[in-house]
Amino acid sequence: MKMSLRRIVMAGALLGTATMSITAAGATTAHKAKTPMYYVALGDSYAMGYQPGYSDTSETVHGYVQQLPALVKAKAKLVVVNFGCGGATSTSILQQVGCASLATSLGGQTYPTQTQEQAAIAFINAHRSQIGLITISIGGNDFDACVNSNDAIGCVSTSMPQMKTNITTLASDLRAAAGPTVPMIATTYPDVVLGMYVTTPPNPGFANLSLIAFKSIINPDMVQAYTPSNVAFIDVTTATGAYTPLKKTTKLAPYGKIPVAVATVCKLTWFCERKDIHPKTAGYTFIAQLVAKQYLKMVK
């Protein structure tokens, strides 16, 4: 069928308009992807990125929060605003005014007259259309003292109800401030206590109890606390291979033949070398990659 010259011209004009619209839409999308958005981090020393073995001026430069923007830069430009506080618990994040352990965390914020939650929410409210991501790493200090308990499982079980209530409140308050579409991601912890397989003296029995605590109590309670507020939960315990059967072994200097799960903890954290619960740079990188993967799924 032949088309008149007038129709051909009109069709060309329409096609040109459509092409321009598509190009403009693409440019807008690209612009949005590169518009700086704030990445609000809350939590304890894991959020700060603390690790021993560094000078005071560089102890928090390799955390997962600090590494994350580079991992997602193709999709978004995130500017870190870090409210993390070393030693924070699920109670202190809601109730303690100020933080004495901000150190040199990238984007670290001071809030001498507010709680960590209040300070973060005040920032979110002041930048409502500019919040690109919120992460939460809290709870570890709620049960950390159980390492010294004669009844570790009982100790963890006792501390969980309050932690669960606190995290539920925190997640709900942050979601209300951020709105329904801002990506929110929470992390749990690697089971560093597995490192007790190689401590002096070794304590594999206690290490085994830690697996039960994470699998049956800690992580399920965290999931239940975060889920109502649509906060994505990253099970770092599982991701780091904590539940790999302990009969599966490998060799790792200077410890010799040890369970693979234990070797992973030794490689990713400072526990085996220093009995310190914090990740090494490699451990923070591992967590950053998990968070980046989840974030990219949420912003497609």
| CATH number, domain with residue 169 | 3.40.50.1110
Structure confidence by residue, pLDDT tens digits, 227-266:
999 999 999 999 999 999 999 999 999 999 999 999 999 9
Whole-model pTM: value is 0.86
Average pLDDT, the chain: 87
Of the pLDDT bands very low, low, confident and very high (cuts 50, 70, 90), residue 106 is confident
- On the CB side of 285, CA atoms within 13 Å amount to 5
Structure confidence by residue, pLDDT tens digits, 108-130:
888 999 999 999 999 999 999 99
Count up the domains in the chain and report the number: 1
Residue 73 lies in a domain: yes
Residue 65 lies in a domain: yes
Residue 67 lies in a domain: yes
Domain that holds residue 58: 35-192+216-240+280-298
Residue 268 lies in a domain: no
Residue 30 lies in a domain: no
